[in-house]
Amino acid sequence: MMLQSPDALAALIPDGALVAIPPDNSLPSVAIAKALIRRGARGLRLLGVPVSGFATDILIGAGCVAEVETSAVSLGEAGFAPRFSAALKEGRITVRDATCPAIHTMLQAAEKGVPFMPLRGLIGSDILANRPDWKVVPNPFAPAGEDPIVLLPAKQPDFAIFHAAMADAEGNVWLGRRRECATIAHASKAALVTVERIVEGSFLEDERLAPGAISATYVTATAIAERGAHPVALLDAYGFDQDYVSAYARAARTEEGFRAWLEAEVFAPAQKVAAE
Amino acid sequence: MIAPEERLAATLARLILDPAAPPARHIAVGAASPIPAAACWLVKLMGHPVRLSLLHRRSGNPFTEGTRELFDLTGQGRIDLFFLGGGQIDGQANLNLVGTGEWPGMGVRFPGSFGSAFMYFMTPRTILFREEHSPRVLVEKVDNISAPGVSPPGVFRRGTAQALVTGRCVFRFHPERARFSLASLHPGETVESVREATGFAFDVPETVPQTPDPTEAELALLRGRVCDEMIETYPEFCRRVWGRSRAA
C-alpha cells in the first residue's frame, strides 16, 4: 500500500506499539520518527537493531517512548545521546540492555517462527543477570549437565520502520546490502518504509536488484520521503550530516534547547508544507 | 614529532603481530575505533596477509547480510581478533560499557554494551584499548559487568584480553591468575606515575621497558596510505592527527 506521506505511515502506529528501528549506519527512517513526534505518539517501546541513535533520541526527548531495548544508544562522533541519558536518569523510560547479537538472534527466532534460539557468550555478564526473560540451560547435545548456554525468546516487533532507496510499482523496496532491515521486516508483524522515489517495474524481475530487495510480502506500506534518512546516510546516495547531528547534540543538552530544536526541525517544516 | 595517536597505533600493530599470540588472519574493527583501525591498516599495508572487516565503512562494507554477519562469523570462530574498550575496566579485565552506579547506569550512563558480551568470549583474543588512563576508568572493580574478563571452567570461551593499551602504558593480561602486568611505559611515564593513575593492583616485573617509537617506515605509512584508507570513515580523526581533509 502506497501512502501519501510519512505522517500517514506514523498514523498506522498506535500508542504502546513495539517498534524496531535500525541504527544510524543502517537506514533508520528519521522521517517516520519525526512524523511520530508530530502525531504525539505515546508509550512506544523501541527496539534498537541492534543499537540506537538519532531517531531514538528525538523520540525519547519528545516524550513518545516508555521503554527502550537496545545494545547501546549513541550519536557516534557527536557523543552520548542527551535525551536518552536525561530520560533514564529521571526515570521516565525503562531501559532493557542487551548485546548486539542477542537482538539479532531474537529477531531471527521470530523470522523462523520458533519460540527461542541459543546464543553463546553472555554468561557472567550483568546484562544476563538483569534479563529474567533470558534463560541458561545445559546444552542438550552435550554430556548431561555440561556446557551451559543462553536461550533467548523470539521477539516479534509490531512494526519495523526504516528507509530505503526506492520502491517499485509492486511495493517491493530496495536497500542494497543493509540486510538487517530485511531481518526486522521478516520478523515484524508489519513493516513501514519510507523511500526516496518510486520506480516502474519489479525489482524481483531484475537479477542484479533482487538480492538487495525486500519483497512486498513483508512491506505493509510505503511513502515517499525525500532525504528520509537525513541526517543519517543513505547508502551511496548521501552522507552522514555530522554538522546537523553535532548541532542537535549541543541543543539537546537541555530540555529547553531540545524543545526549540523540535519546533524548528520537526513542527515548523510540516506547518510550512501544510500552508503551501 | 611523533603524535601520541601514532605511537598507540604502532604499539597496537606490534601486539597484533605478536608471534606468541594466536594468528590474526581476520580482524574486525568497530565504529568508534580510529586508532585500532589505523593499527590494522598499518599491519596490512606493511604487507602482512590479514583480512580487515571494518564495520562502519560506508563504501565497500564487507558485510552483505547486515551487521549480524559479524556476529555469525565470530560465533564460528572466523574472526581472530577484536578490539574493546570500556567506560570502566578493572584489574580482572572486566569491562563496563553500561554505566556507573546501579544498573543500568544510574550514575553516569555510557552508551551501552554493544557486542562486547559476545565478542569478548568468542574471539581468540581481544586487545583492550582506552586512551584515558585514570583512576575513574581503570578501577579496582567495575560497577557493572558488560563482559567478564575470565569465565569459570565449563563455560564456552575461546579467549580473552591479550593486553590493555592506554595513553600511559601497555599491560599484558594473564587469564590464569586474572591479573594485569605492566609490559611497557610510554615516554614520560614511570611505574609510580602509572600506579597513581590506576585504580587496580597489577604486577610489575624487575625491569619495565619503554614503549618503542614507531619506525620511520611505520610513520610514513601512517601519514600516507593509512590515512588515505581511513579518511572516509574517520574524517575528524584524520584532520586532527594528520591535518588532512577529505578534499585533499
Per the domain annotation, does A30 fall within a domain? Answer: yes
- Checking if the pLDDT of A246 tops 90, the result is yes
Per-residue pLDDT, B92 = 98
B234, closest residue in chain A (CA to CA) = A77
Q: How many CA atoms lie within 13 A of B208 on its CB side?
A: 22
- Across the interface, whether the CB atoms of B154 and A233 are under 8 A apart is answered no
**Best CA proximity match to A30, nearest among A3, A50, A53, A63:** A53
A148, closest residue in chain B (CA to CA) = B155
| B58, B66, B115: residue with CB nearest A99 | B115
A272 — pLDDT class (breaks 50, 70, 90): confident
- Cβ-count burial B219-246 (b if 16+ within 10 Å, e if not): bebbbeebbebbbbbbbebbeebbebee
Domain end position, chosen among A153, A180, A198: A153
Taking contacts as CB-CB distances below 8 angstroms, the residues of chain A near B235 are 242
Number of domains in chain A: 2
Per the domain annotation, does A111 fall within a domain? Answer: no
Considering only residues A139 and B1, tell me which one the structure prediction assigns the higher pLDDT: A139
In the DSSP assignment, the letter for residue A263 is I
Q: Say if residue A261 is in the same domain as residue A224.
A: yes
**Average pLDDT in chain A:** 96
Per-residue pLDDT, B247 = 59
Return phi, psi of residue A163, to 5°.
-115, 140
User: Using CA atoms, how far apart are residues A57 and A85, in angstroms rounded to an integer?
Assistant: 9
Per the domain annotation, does A48 fall within a domain? Answer: yes
Mean pLDDT of the A62-74 span: 97
* ipTM of this complex: 0.95
- Here the CATH number for the domain that contains residue B49 is 3.40.1080.10
| B59, B68, B152: residue with CB nearest A104 | B68
Going from the C-alpha of B77 to that of each of A3, A159, B26, B145, the distances in angstroms are 45, 33, 10, 23
- Cell numbers describing residue B190: 614511570
Per the domain annotation, does B94 fall within a domain? Answer: no
Bridge partners (DSSP) listed for residue A213: A174
Q: Say if residue A183 is in the same domain as residue A267.
A: yes
B67 — pLDDT class (breaks 50, 70, 90): confident
Give the gap in angstroms from C-alpha B142 to the nearest C-alpha of chain A.
11
**For residue B53, what is the enclosing H or E element?**
strand B51-54
Per the domain annotation, does A7 fall within a domain? Answer: yes
Q: Considering only A48-62, A237-251, B195-209, which range has the smallest mean pLDDT?
A: A237-251
Per the domain annotation, does A107 fall within a domain? Answer: no
Considering only residues A36 and B1, tell me which one the structure prediction assigns the higher pLDDT: A36
Share of chain A above pLDDT 70, in %: 99
- Cβ-count burial B26-45 (b if 16+ within 10 Å, e if not): bbbbbbebbbbbbbbbbbbb
Q: How many CA atoms lie within 13 A of B210 on its CB side?
A: 8
Q: Say if residue A84 is in the same domain as residue A21.
A: yes
- Across the interface, whether the CB atoms of B112 and A74 are under 8 A apart is answered yes
Q: Say if residue A200 is in the same domain as residue A244.
A: yes
Mean pLDDT of the A53-71 span: 98
Query: How far, in whole angstroms, is CA A81 from its chain's centroid?
Result: 15
Q: Under a CB-based contact definition with an 8 Å cutoff, are residues B86 and B120 in contact?
A: no
Per-residue pLDDT, A144 = 86
**Average pLDDT in chain B:** 94
- Checking if the pLDDT of B248 tops 60, the result is no
Chain B interface disruption, residue of A123, A186, A232, most B CBs within 10 A: A123
Mean pLDDT of the B50-66 span: 82
Q: Say if residue A149 is in the same domain as residue A162.
A: no
Taking contacts as CB-CB distances below 8 angstroms, the residues of chain B near A90 are none
- Across the interface, whether the CB atoms of B67 and A26 are under 8 A apart is answered yes
Strand B26-29 relative to strand A213-214: parallel, antiparallel, unpaired?
unpaired
Q: Say if residue A149 is in the same domain as residue A168.
A: no
Taking contacts as CB-CB distances below 8 angstroms, the residues of chain B near A242 are 235-236
Q: How many CA atoms lie within 13 A of B26 on its CB side?
A: 13
Per-residue pLDDT, B85 = 94
Q: Say if residue A174 is in the same domain as residue A231.
A: yes
User: Using CA atoms, how far apart are residues A73 and A65, in angstroms rounded to an integer?
Assistant: 14
pLDDT in tens, B14-28: 999 999 999 999 999
Give the gap in angstroms from C-alpha B203 to the nearest C-alpha of chain A.
25
Q: Is A95 on the interface with B (CB under 8 A)?
A: yes
Taking contacts as CB-CB distances below 8 angstroms, the residues of chain B near A239 are 58
Per the domain annotation, does A230 fall within a domain? Answer: yes
Domain end position, chosen among A138, A153, A168: A153
Q: Say if residue A85 is in the same domain as residue A126.
A: no
Mean pLDDT of the A241-249 span: 94
A120, closest residue in chain B (CA to CA) = B118
Per the domain annotation, does A104 fall within a domain? Answer: no
Please give the residue range of the domain that contains residue A238: 2-98+156-275
Q: Under a CB-based contact definition with an 8 Å cutoff, are residues B54 and B233 in contact?
A: yes
Q: How many CA atoms lie within 13 A of A125 on its CB side?
A: 33
User: Using CA atoms, how far apart are residues A255 and A265, in angstroms rounded to an integer?
Assistant: 15
- Cβ-count burial A146-171 (b if 16+ within 10 Å, e if not): eeebbbbebbbbbbbbbbbbbbbeeb
Reply yes or no: is the peptide bond before residue A231 cis, omega within 30 of 0.
yes
Taking contacts as CB-CB distances below 8 angstroms, the residues of chain B near A177 are 61, 63-66
What is the edge-to-edge ordering of all strands in the sheet holding B81-84?
B51-54, B26-29, B81-84, B125-130, B160-166, B169-174, B179-185
Q: Say if residue A187 is in the same domain as residue A227.
A: yes
Q: How many CA atoms lie within 13 A of A98 on its CB side?
A: 27
Number of helices and strands in chain B (H, E): 8, 10
Taking contacts as CB-CB distances below 8 angstroms, the residues of chain A near B32 are 74, 76-77
Q: Which of A:220-259 have CB within 8 Å of B? A: 233, 236, 239, 242
- Across the interface, whether the CB atoms of B115 and A101 are under 8 A apart is answered yes
Q: Say if residue A72 is in the same domain as residue A181.
A: yes
In the DSSP assignment, the letter for residue B60 is T
Please give the residue range of the domain that contains residue B221: 4-84+113-132+151-242
pLDDT in tens, B152-205: 999 999 999 999 999 999 999 999 999 999 999 999 999 999 999 999 999 999
- Cβ-count burial B144-155 (b if 16+ within 10 Å, e if not): bbbbbbbbeeeb
Number of domains in chain B: 1
- Here the CATH number for the domain that contains residue A174 is 3.40.1080.10
Going from the C-alpha of A219 to that of each of A37, A172, A227, B194, the distances in angstroms are 22, 7, 20, 57
A73, closest residue in chain B (CA to CA) = B111
Taking contacts as CB-CB distances below 8 angstroms, the residues of chain B near A233 are 58
Q: Considering only A2-6, A118-122, B61-65, which range has the smallest mean pLDDT?
A: B61-65
Q: Say if residue A124 is in the same domain as residue A259.
A: no
Return phi, psi of residue A54, to 5°.
-55, -50
Q: Say if residue A197 is in the same domain as residue A76.
A: yes
Tell me chain A's radius of gyration from C-alpha atoms. Answer: 19
Mean pLDDT of the A190-202 span: 97
Per the domain annotation, does A171 fall within a domain? Answer: yes
Per-residue pLDDT, A276 = 67
Per the domain annotation, does B101 fall within a domain? Answer: no
Bridge partners (DSSP) listed for residue B125: B81, B160
Mean pLDDT of the B220-238 span: 92
